Structure 1
Amino acid sequence: MISLNKTIAYTKNWKHTFIIALILGALIPVLLMTLEPFDNSNNFSYKYLILSGYAICIIIPLVIIHPIENYIYKIQTNRWFILNECIYIITTLFLIFVFSFFYHFFVISGLPSFTNESIKVFIISFGLPFTPIVVPLWLYLRSKYGQIEVPMYDKSTTKKIKSVTIIGNNKSESLTIFESDFIFAKAQQNYVDVFFNTENGMQQKTFRSTLSNIMKQLPKAWQVHRSYLVNLDYLKTVEGNARKRFIRISATEETIPISQVYYKALNKRLSNSSQ
């Protein structure tokens, strides 16, 4: 059973929200023109132009809801859960049904009045049949443009108490730093570059060693790729899709790839920390 408290990617960016709204907004008129569910191929002029108006019924609810979901995302310390996504989809879908009903009622049909029963019939007859087509694409787009975001690294909350000494294969290669100052490590052939925080900013030291040997010496090191270790205290965002993901850390602009196997473990860790 899928946990509703599992952390998932969230589409925070307004640009991406508009892109999703435009794609879904364009899809519905195309489906209506193709399937003609209202059986109105012969009974009104400018059919394609008027049917295109349903795009507005999709776009407006997505734009209206976005500030609200961003607020919820913010108060949840930049976390978005499966439960949030379910509530978002259901709420927004209901608004889309309502907007579509009024557009259909007043613009398409031109009727003078309506009842609650007519709204119910419209949703069941015309709204729900499109749901299995629209929602999967909708979820895919939100996942594609979304990201898992972790709160920024904050020096004031990191205590420099425990120090660690890193030693390479050559005894002359050693480095003593605070455990919390380790940022990330990158392996290249027989060498490992260790990046760490100092008063003068991020510094680098190269060791003749293996990534696994360096990891054993750094309690804060967490493997995300066969060639990378990171300190999750510096983790800023997880981005990308199922085929290619990468992470950003607050101490550098460098993007660090994350393998699928390590992403699953990281996602599990983020989910557990949110409970």
Structure 2
Amino acid sequence: MLITLEPFDSDTNFSYKQLILSGYALCVLLPILLIHPIENYVYKIQTNRWFVLNECVYILSTLSIIFIFSFFYHFFVISGLSSFSNQLIWGFIKSYGIPFVPLIVPLWLYLRSKYGEIEVPKYKAEHPKKVKKITIHGVNKAETLTLLESDFIFAKAQQNYVDIYYNTATGMQQKTFRSTLSNMVKQLPKAWQVHRSYLVNLDYIKTVEGNARKRFVRITPTEETIPISQVYYKALSKRLSNSSQ
């Protein structure tokens, strides 16, 4: 693209032009490789979860580093200059970096969504269950619920509210929070998204039913059915297959 569009005043002929311009590819590749270990670390400490906010921070951070690398490459290698200022850096980003964003970022996001995989961690039977209490908070300070993390059954989002269903000694109970589903995912270690409006504790799944057009899970201790979106089905099916072996 750099050679074809002739950016950064690169339409001037000079020795080894295509080879030198191809160096801009390193300015893109190196930041991605540098950020990747950090991306993996954040993914792991969030118990193998990746949120929209994480994706936004990742894209902005990587783009910023790409712009900086490209500036120094353009400044020292292409232009052969020896001194620079913050004003020059910002001018370069504004004039040559930002215009490339609409061309690169949509394709970048598409490739990440297409080739990225939703993973559901495998259950390790050899490890005994740990009894751990968690406290769920809603938008309002008075909205709290303390329970064992293993007692969470499923959650259902409706507009600006989320219904939490959990197990008790007297059976399944329900509590409504003013919140979002993404906020609940962060507070519920046992919660895994199977639909844009549902979170499920996989330990309560009884069966997976339906066909390619419409699938759902049936959970215990009730006969409640929860729809499964196609985007989450592959990971869920793989996890259940591994746990049954």
Displacement after TM superposition at 1:37 (Å): 2.3
The correspondence of residues 55-204 of structure 1 with structure 2, limited to 5 A, is: 55-155=25-125, 156-157=128-129, 180=204, 182=206, 184=208
Structure number, greater radius of gyration: 1
What's the secondary structure of 1:56's corresponding residue?
Answer: helix
The corresponding residue for 1:219 is 223
What's the secondary structure of 2:241's corresponding residue?
Answer: coil
Q: Does 1:53 align with 2:77?
A: no
- Structure 2 distance, partners of 1:102, 1:181, is 54
What's the secondary structure of 1:149's corresponding residue?
Answer: coil
- Structure 1 distance, partners of 2:118, 2:108, is 18
- Structure 2 distance, partners of 1:96, 1:49, is 19
1:105-150 deviations in whole A, cap 9, x for unaligned? 1110011111111111110111011011001111111101112223
Alpha-carbon spacing, 1:180–1:120, altered in 2? closer, same or farther (3 Å): closer
1:36-57 deviations in whole A, cap 9, x for unaligned? 1223323421111111110000
Amino acid at match of 1:250: R
Amino acid at match of 1:182: K
TM-score when normalising by structure 1: 0.52
What's the secondary structure of 2:237's corresponding residue?
Answer: strand
The corresponding residue for 1:168 is none
1:212-257 deviations in whole A, cap 9, x for unaligned? 9x9599637645389xxxxxxxxxx947xxxxx6643434259xxx
- Structure 2 distance, partners of 1:109, 1:124, is 18
CA contact (8 A) 2:43 2:49 kept: yes
Alpha-carbon spacing, 1:152–1:101, altered in 2? closer, same or farther (3 Å): same
Q: Does 1:252 align with 2:241?
A: yes
- Structure 2 distance, partners of 1:216, 1:84, is 31
- Structure 2 distance, partners of 1:95, 1:216, is 46
What's the secondary structure of 1:94's corresponding residue?
Answer: helix
CA contact (8 A) 1:180 1:220 kept: no
CA contact (8 A) 2:206 2:218 kept: no
- Structure 1 distance, partners of 2:51, 2:63, is 18
Alpha-carbon spacing, 1:38–1:225, altered in 2? closer, same or farther (3 Å): closer
What's the secondary structure of 1:111's corresponding residue?
Answer: coil
Unaligned runs of 5+ in 2: 130-149, 152-167, 170-202
Amino acid at match of 2:3: M
Q: Aligned pair count?
A: 168
- Structure 2 distance, partners of 1:46, 1:101, is 20
What's the secondary structure of 1:150's corresponding residue?
Answer: coil
CA contact (8 A) 2:205 2:218 kept: no
- Structure 1 distance, partners of 2:238, 2:64, is 38
TM-score when normalising by structure 2: 0.58
Amino acid at match of 2:228: V
Higher RCO (C-alpha 8 Å, min separation 6) = 1
